[in-house]
Structure 1
Amino acid sequence: MTDQSEIILYGTTWCGGTLRTRAFLDRNHIPYRWIDIDKDPEAGKFVESVNHGFRSVPTLIFPDGSQLTEPSNSQLAEKLGLPTASN
């Protein structure tokens, strides 16, 4: 599931961290593919496999294969090369 040319965001519709991360990416015009792990059991298994058995969301997989799990806006900004002061 990690072979892609865009950011993949795994999350749920009810998770505050997922909602915050989606808003951050949208606000900064960062394209991503959204996958709701509550609706996609295979995606849920993938998230568990990369998070030591936990369904930790949001989990982001980047085109270079790197991953961030439950990142803060500052961590996202740093990863994406965006200024961190206004995020």
Structure 2
Amino acid sequence: MMRAWILPLLLVLCGSVVATGLVSKGSPGTASALLSAFVVLAGVNSPLIFPRSIGAQEAQRRSAADGRPVVFWRPGCTFCIRLRIRLGRDARRLHWVDIWRDPAGAAAVRAANDGNETVPTLVIAGRPHTNPDPEWVRAQLTASA
């Protein structure tokens, strides 16, 4: 769990150090703008922007029951962030599995990607799709609804 928060914490810490230096040099406006940018960047790289993660086995069970896709992701992955942001509200219709929190999820991703933990990996009807285009994912959600 702590591993997912390392990058966001480092971003906030670095932003605080830089902002403190700017305040001491007499630039409080620049310091607050820069600190705000670091906090936003930390928020985007944190697990907070993703729907609540569940375990791989639970996600696969739910997917079999309701037909919704499973997305394997990890915090800090720019492609995962792009997918999540571009899907908008539709992202809540997917089952999200954080591979850093779930060893079974990481194993499923490695099995689908020749031993690599390449994310996002989307599983629709038992077929994995690595780093799919967000518009394609949205079309799949519309087709399955």
Same topology, TM > 0.5: yes
| Corresponding residue for residue 73 of structure 2 | 11
Partner Cα separation in structure 2 for residue 35 and residue 7 of structure 1: 11
Q: Distance in 1 between matches of 2:106 and 2:120?
A: 11
1:18-58 deviation line (CA, Å, top 9, x unaligned)? 1111122234x251011100011111011001111000000
Higher normalized helix content (fraction of residues): 2
Question: In structure 2, which of residues 134, 137, 143 is the aligned counterpart of residue 73 of structure 1?
Answer: 134
Q: How many correspondences in the alignment?
A: 80
Give yes or no for contact 2:74–2:99 (8 Å, CA) kept in 1. yes
Structure holding more strand per residue: 1
User: Which structure: larger Rg?
Assistant: 2
Question: Distance in 2 between the 1:79 and 1:67 partners?
Answer: 13
TM-score relative to the length of structure 2: 0.47
Cα RMSD, aligned residues only: 2.1
The TM-score, its normalising length taken from structure 1, stands at 0.74
Aligned-residue sequence identity (percent) comes to: 26
CA–CA separation in structure 2 for the residues paired with 1:11 and 1:78: 20
DSSP 3-state at the match of 1:52:
coil
Distance 1:6 1:76, change over 3 A: closer
In structure 1, C-alpha distance between the alignment counterparts of 2:134 and 2:102, rounded to whole Å: 26
Q: State whether structure 2 residue 50 is matched by structure 1 residue 50.
A: no
**Structure 1 gaps, min length 5:** 83-87
Higher relative contact order (CA 8 A, sep 6+): 1
CA distance in 2, matches of 1:79, 1:33: 14
CA distance in 2, matches of 1:75, 1:32: 14
Offset at residue 78 of structure 1 (A): 5.3
Deviation for aligned residue 1:81? 5.9
